Amino acid sequence: TFAYASFSRGFKAGGYNGLAVFNATAFRAVYEPQEVDAIEVGLKADWADGRVRTNFAVFNNDISGLQQTSAVGTGSFAVHNVGDATVRGIEAELTWLPMAGLRLYTNLGYSDAKYDRLLPTSRAFAFGATDLPLLPDLTHQLGFSYERPVGNGMQLRFGADAAGTSGYFTEIGNTLKVESYTRYDAYLGIGSADGTW
From first to last of its 197 residues, the chain has per-residue pLDDT tens of 999 999 999 999 999 887 776 777 777 788 999 999 999 999 999 999 999 999 999 999 999 999 998 877 777 788 889 999 999 999 999 999 999 999 999 999 999 999 999 999 888 999 999 999 999 999 999 999 999 998 888 999 999 999 999 999 998 889 999 999 999 999 999 999 888 88
Q: State the pLDDT at residue 77.
A: 81
- The residues that bridge with 69 in the sheet, in sequence order, are 79
Residues with Cβ < 8 Å from 139, sequence gap 6 or more?
107, 108, 109, 163, 164, 165, 166
Q: What is the pTM of this model?
A: 0.83
Residues with Cβ < 8 Å from 48, sequence gap 6 or more?
none
Q: State the pLDDT at residue 18.
A: 76
